[in-house]
Structure 1
Amino acid sequence: MRTSLYAAIAFALLAGRAHAARFTDLGIANGQMTSLSHNGRIAAGIAGESGWRWAKDRGPSVLTGFVEVEGMSAWAQPVAGAWTNAATLDVAALAYSNSDLVGGPVEIGGLPGATGLDGTLSVGYGVSDTKVAVGLAYDDSGNAIAFRWDAGNGIARLDVNRPDNYSRANGISADGSVAWGWNDQDDGFRSAVVWHDGVPTDLVDAQSNPVGEADGGSRDGSVIVGSGLATPDGSSAWRWTAAAGVQPLGVPSLAPGRSAVAAPASIERTALVARHPERASARVGDAAPQGFPPASYAFGVSDDGNVIVGRSGAFPMFFATVWTPATGMVRLDDYASARGVAIPAGWSLMTATAVSADGLVIGGWGIDPNNALNSFVIDLHDDTPREALLEAHGTVDWNDLPDGPFAGVPVGTPVTMTFRISPDGFEVEPGEATSYPVELETFSLVAGTASDTLVATPSGPNVWIANDYPLSDGIHLFDTPTTTAGQSMEFELFNPGGDMFDSDDLGRINRTFGPAFFEKASWVVAAGGQFGMYMALDSVSIHDVDDGSDVIFADGFESQP
């Protein structure tokens, strides 16, 4: 049915009322965020001697047995850190959202022959979307060694150019091919390293001097950021690409009338540093400060490399920062305020540790109005409710329907299904499953020259978007009648890995999947329990409807039957 001009204008005006960008206090006592998911809707970090995971719709939860969490995959399945095992040793481990339901985390363990140091065998610092983990492990001499792990090959050293010196891998690309971290020089200072398929490259400045530490990278590993680049203004954060090499991001000074906040002694993680004599991550405080001159640090970078977050200041006075090509390095509170986010009174933003893929969600930690260490998320999305467009392609795999438009459609015939999904859904489980209405007038199922559509039911039709429910993600259009009497259609995609989405919210969904991604892909037009046209899935895409098209006239000019 076409929409009237006046109704369409009213709808467009209503849809255009943006939900404002916002600041969220995570409410995690002594919490220091270390990582964010792809869309910024899941975070993780450290709180004293424990690890935690936070979800936008669920809030924070303690990860049982974890002493720290340092990184996560794009969809936060899993997070990487260290937990205390049955032998009371702290070892690298991966935690999923339902680890407590399925026997606990995946334990990575230690290097062969290692007995650990001060009760620690290893710590996971990053994990790829392909479930490859990297981090630090102690060898049989108690030396800190960068490692790589996957389920098939187990844990192994990452090669470095100075194997007798300490090293650590701080993160890894989404596909597991690029890792980044550091390897100490002979004088004890760190030297940033990037590994491509396990081959190490030391990063240097324009004068071939080593730079300190690689702390973050884009999802494809093409942009690496870190700290420790010597400049006339102090120790600078830097950005690296293969084409441009290491480029300084600057060391901002305090503006007149502005102040930084002294880091409480608690953030220096003295207990953790005692377990990790190679020194703790600068993201959450380093008990071996680089000295009192001004310094800047970069800890996270967007997918395009153009939003970089970190901190600046002179120990122990710090403030959170953001760098973009347009702004240079500026204070995070100023950057947020210029984009409509009011930082609550009493909050001091000390460190920005992570940024979402699109650069619009920034997370970190600071001092809250209670003068306590706490974590925050700044979300710069307008969060206007948006429709989603689902499009599936496949081929007829079997067909014995006796009647209806698809009767006789031969095997191998191409099939396309498209429809829009309304954002006005019913939340089944917060952050885990929402049932969204299918906009029936947009639904189309075409096989060759034949087509059909769905019909309204008392409760739908609806599509379930599932995220971590309790681990799996999926798209579920349950059995729904078509216009052909006695026939119905089902479209169910089930991903047991839980790495499709980082929220069941319709907004910010922009992905395409092939059939290998799903454990179950059921797509069928059925007639009772006896006959059916079964379709093999080739691809499915789900995208936000936010393409700048003319929404007022998209379905016609005036209402007509």
Structure 2
Amino acid sequence: MHILQKISYSCAFVLATALCVMAESNSAKAASFQGLGDLPEDIFIASSLAQIVSENSGVLTYPGISFTGVSDVSANGSTVLGNSFLSVGGSSALSGPQGFYWTQDNGIKRVEDDATAFNVANTVNAVSADGSIIVGHDRNNLEAFRWTQEDGIQGLGRLTDDSTSYANGISADGSIIVGYDSISGKSQAFRWTKETGIEGLGYLPGGDYSEANDVSKDGSVIVGYGLNLNDYDAPEAFRWTQENGIQGLGDLPGGNFESFANGISANGSTIVGGSSSANGKEAFVWTQEGGIQGLGDLAGGSFFSDAFDVSADGSVVVGRSESANGSEAFIWDRENQIRSLQKILTNDFALDLTGWSLNEATAISDDGLTIVGEGINPNGNSEAWIARLDSKPIPQPVPEPSLLLATCIAGGVGTLLKKRKKVVKG
């Protein structure tokens, strides 16, 4: 075969291979971002103010309701929880919080006993691994609840007849629920199971206040915060187990003593939250081996960061930080440290977020690839959002086809010259 033909075939093979690699790379890094729905403007209210429903682009929304919070995402990334506020005619009886769950197939739905009943009554805070069990607080009954589509809302009880209970966290299978019970300005963290009912977890030394915020996959480790009046006279993050009870985690060096635990990894080994530090309020990661470690904050603005959730293996943390752009969602891992989530989505995954400002990342799926939070949409309204990544955000550069072609041609010319030199020498 003529040498030029060989070079041509070789270059074609190199370019084809490169294009395949790029296609595979782009496919592997396929990602998506979407808001969970704009605030609806068309309002239909039945005579009893029963069902208020409209359909917008295949996503069910509820007129008059705006998102005020995104509280959780299921471990598999399929179900997102949010809390909204409905205001009807300035009436306090017809206005208040309303819990929702969202799925890609069905959009937004209310968490109710009867989906046709108008009941501004509850907030939702946590969801089981598969999205089938939701927990929160029913303000009508002043009680923590557990909800499923089959059984509706079921109250979990209270520690005393006159107290109010709130559910904040749930184990993977939904069998263990944690939260707090409050009366006269004092609260106690609790653990609930079907067999034992609601049980108080106690307090830190000298304290009379504690709240449980999250629980490990199997329910054996519970985290939150409580007042430590003996040692610090301040709130302190805690970790609870059946064997050791409630134990304080300390805080970051410098500043006034203060720490709060917000989230926990699947096996309970990694805890995240916020603490006072020498710089100000700072997000932290806690492990048994390394203790409490600050995560820093995003560049610009006043110093502030707070960690809300962590992936199952403890490797990826999400939360909120102050930056030059104001309140901004962050993502953290040990290799890359703290980074702007919005910049990663736009720069590393080439997503178009024009007009969006991602204010905070509230929760993350077990595999670290689905992140949910709140932000300002292109219309200037507050809106919940979901970002899905097919690989963790560590970009792998791929050479441009033009560069590969130039390299191939240069290599081919070099080969041809060598061949000619060999002929001359012969």
TM-score (norm 1): 0.45
2: CA distance, partners of 1:151 / 1:85: 23
C-alpha displacement at 1:176, in angstroms? 0.5
**Change in 2 beyond 3 A, CA 1:349/1:229:** same
**Change in 2 beyond 3 A, CA 1:63/1:136:** farther
Q: Is 1:192 aligned to 2:199, yes or no?
A: no
Partner of 1:302: 265
Q: Is 1:97 aligned to 2:95, yes or no?
A: no
Q: Is the 8 A contact 1:236 1:295 kept in 2?
A: yes
Partner of 2:35: 61
C-alpha displacement at 1:369, in angstroms? 1.4
The letter of the residue matching 1:351 is: D
**Change in 2 beyond 3 A, CA 1:253/1:144:** farther
2: CA distance, partners of 1:121 / 1:58: 33
**Change in 2 beyond 3 A, CA 1:211/1:357:** farther
Partner of 2:74: 73
RMSD of aligned Cα (Å): 3.8
**Change in 2 beyond 3 A, CA 1:164/1:81:** farther
Q: Secondary structure of the equivalent of 1:58?
A: strand
The letter of the residue matching 1:244 is: N
Q: Is the 8 A contact 2:143 2:157 kept in 1?
A: no
Aligned ranges 1:486-525 → 2 under 5 Å: 503-505=389-391
Q: Is the 8 A contact 1:69 1:82 kept in 2?
A: yes
Q: Is 1:351 aligned to 2:317, yes or no?
A: no
C-alpha displacement at 1:115, in angstroms? 8.1
Aligned ranges 1:116-265 → 2 under 5 Å: 120-130=120-130, 131-139=132-140, 144-185=142-183, 187-197=184-194, 199-205=197-203, 210-230=208-228, 231-233=230-232, 234-254=234-254
Q: Is the 8 A contact 1:181 1:193 kept in 2?
A: yes
C-alpha displacement at 1:350, in angstroms? 1.9
2: CA distance, partners of 1:86 / 1:211: 32
1: CA distance, partners of 2:84 / 2:129: 21
State the Cα deviation string for residues 115-162 of structure 1 (Å, max 9, x = none).
Answer: 86xxx41111011124111001112xxx63211111111012112212
1: CA distance, partners of 2:333 / 2:204: 36
2: CA distance, partners of 1:247 / 1:359: 20
2: CA distance, partners of 1:81 / 1:377: 20
C-alpha displacement at 1:223, in angstroms? 0.9
Q: Is the 8 A contact 1:135 1:147 kept in 2?
A: yes
**Change in 2 beyond 3 A, CA 1:304/1:137:** same
Q: Is the 8 A contact 2:236 2:260 kept in 1?
A: yes
1: CA distance, partners of 2:273 / 2:181: 21
2: CA distance, partners of 1:374 / 1:506: 20
1: CA distance, partners of 2:288 / 2:178: 23
The letter of the residue matching 1:67 is: T
Q: Secondary structure of the equivalent of 1:109?
A: coil
Partner of 1:361: 316
C-alpha displacement at 1:206, in angstroms? 7.0
2: CA distance, partners of 1:347 / 1:359: 27
State the Cα deviation string for residues 26-61 of structure 1 (Å, max 9, x = none).
Answer: xxxxxxxxxxxxxxxxxxxxxxxxxxxxx9922452
1:109 pairs, out of 103, 109, 112, with 112
**Change in 2 beyond 3 A, CA 1:162/1:252:** same
C-alpha displacement at 1:296, in angstroms? 0.8
Across the two proteins, how many residue pairs are aligned to each other? Answer: 282
The letter of the residue matching 1:236 is: E
Aligned ranges 1:534-553 → 2 under 5 Å: none
The letter of the residue matching 2:244 is: A
Identity score, percent:
30
C-alpha displacement at 1:309, in angstroms? 0.8
Q: Secondary structure of the equivalent of 1:146?
A: strand
**Change in 2 beyond 3 A, CA 1:347/1:188:** closer
Q: Is the 8 A contact 1:203 1:211 kept in 2?
A: no
Q: Is the 8 A contact 2:72 2:81 kept in 1?
A: yes
Q: Secondary structure of the equivalent of 1:174?
A: coil
Q: Secondary structure of the equivalent of 1:359?
A: coil
1: CA distance, partners of 2:335 / 2:136: 32
Point out the structure with the larger strand share.
Answer: 1
2:333 pairs, out of 379, 382, 392, with 379
State the Cα deviation string for residues 247-271 of structure 1 (Å, max 9, x = none).
Answer: 11013342xxxx7xxxxxxxxxxxx
> Any stretches of 5+ residues in structure 2 without a counterpart?
1-28, 39-65, 89-93, 337-349, 352-368, 371-387, 394-426
Aligned ranges 1:383-402 → 2 under 5 Å: none
Partner of 2:378: none
Q: Secondary structure of the equivalent of 1:247?
A: strand
**Change in 2 beyond 3 A, CA 1:91/1:343:** closer
The letter of the residue matching 1:167 is: S
2: CA distance, partners of 1:86 / 1:111: 20
**Change in 2 beyond 3 A, CA 1:380/1:331:** closer
Q: Is 1:322 aligned to 2:285, yes or no?
A: yes
Partner of 2:5: none
1: CA distance, partners of 2:207 / 2:161: 19
C-alpha displacement at 1:380, in angstroms? 3.5
1: CA distance, partners of 2:86 / 2:301: 39
Aligned ranges 1:424-443 → 2 under 5 Å: none
**Change in 2 beyond 3 A, CA 1:68/1:347:** same
Q: Is the 8 A contact 1:362 1:377 kept in 2?
A: yes
**Change in 2 beyond 3 A, CA 1:196/1:381:** farther
C-alpha displacement at 1:197, in angstroms? 2.5
1: CA distance, partners of 2:242 / 2:217: 15
**Change in 2 beyond 3 A, CA 1:182/1:77:** same
C-alpha displacement at 1:229, in angstroms? 3.8
